[in-house]
Structure 1
């Protein structure tokens, strides 16, 4: 009974945690460039236990689904979608680099190219500044060009180039702010093979139907763990009654 309680108790706890992760994924089903979170659990024996038959559940791996989401045409000049593998590079408040697939960009009051959350988008030489009263075009290789409004199309000026990187996915970890960073703290070099599509956005890669089915399955698993705890309690009560009769 003691073994059953350990397994059911920790199993129920982590089912709740997995349900929270699944709910978080569903909440971001419409977030551009979002990567679904993944949880996996396994049973391990209790260390230093007097009886080595006790086991409990722990997180085995916690990662992200790096599959590509669908593309959506927007026609907005500051929207970009990374094609295939790769990441946009943004600057954290502490000056370090972070990586995102959310390509809905904006201009700050000073003309600095930023994400919708206010992080500066980095180019090959740092943040990219856009002059006022211009039309903006972003090429496939990330080159940001401007044309003064009212001028001829041949008055094109290149103001920078987006820094596009493609670090190994097994070296990426999601930070608390939702952005990705490298586990070892290394700063990857720009990858010329990474391209972007202007006027488009990448949707979240969360499968809503699959997530809803997962939510139902997790709810049933939690109920099963609760029933196991009830059975353990009933068995303990009956055993105590038999011992008292003897």
Structure 2
């Protein structure tokens, strides 16, 4: 239950984080072989246990919020923006709260360069206003400057979460017809009411379990005390 509470707390902490994808706790089941469970009645009953807990990411899109910032981008389609990590590898995100750093390079809120089809992109004063079309084409007063890379995966459930909004994955495929919205970003897909409801349910289950453990401990103490009197 501690793991479950940690997952819910992290979801709630990122309620307003752009592009954040909520997580849920799941468990895998271990079935005891019938031979090992033969001491139980009925003998042919399979015994089921929780083997381990895992977290799964919900990639359902969040709502789109208009900001008016020319460098904020939202994907109104499947896919992920591509960013460059400090070690030179690529990571993927739905968070489009981009801005220009001190050198004029387009970066994420965390400072990772945003990748175009030609790599990272840097703007200068001569570029003037920046227009980004639905398919990611970047145009300034100097002409076409590049195109924002958008990729997708055959099974997004296999992506590895490496940060609040960043993921690692293999075999990324380009999205041929992305639908990008300039001057907006994708909200978190966490719903506060849902998380509060889950929190109440887990808290009640935790309290109930704690009461059972306490009652069993009291019964054990009573049994030890009673047996001690008989032996005396």
Structure 2 length as normaliser, TM-score? 0.85
**Which residue among 99, 111, 114 is the counterpart of 1:118?**
111
The CA deviation at 1:56 is 6.5
Q: Which runs of 5+ in 1 are unaligned?
A: 1-14, 148-155
Kindly provide the CA deviation profile for residues 63-107 of structure 1, in whole angstroms up to 9, marking residues without a partner as x: 101101111111211111011211000001011110111111111
- Number of residue pairs aligned between Structure 1 and Structure 2: 220
Give 5+ residue unaligned stretches, structure 2: 41-46
**1:118 Cα deviation (Å)?**
0.2
Cα pair 1:45 1:52 within 8 Å, conserved: no
Partners of 2:82 and 2:97 in 1: how far apart?
A: 13
| Cα distance in structure 1, aligned partners of 2:190 and 2:39 | 40
Distance 1:145 1:73, change over 3 A: same
Cα contact 1:166–1:194 (8 A) shared by 2: no
Contact kept, 8 Å, 1:88 with 1:163, in 2: the verdict is: yes
Q: Residue 231 of structure 1: SS of its match in structure 2?
A: helix
Asked whether the equivalents of residues 81 and 202 of structure 1 are also in contact (C-alpha less than 8 Å), the reply is yes
TM-score, length-scaled by structure 1? 0.81
Name 2:188's counterpart in structure 1: 204
Map of 1:171 onto structure 2: 158
2:179 is the alignment partner of 1:195? yes
Provide the aligned C-alpha RMSD in A. 2.5
Distance (Å, rounded) in 1 between the aligned partners of 2:26 and 2:39: 24
**CA shift at 1:171, angstroms?**
2.1
Distance in 1 of aligned mates of 2:175 and 2:165? 23
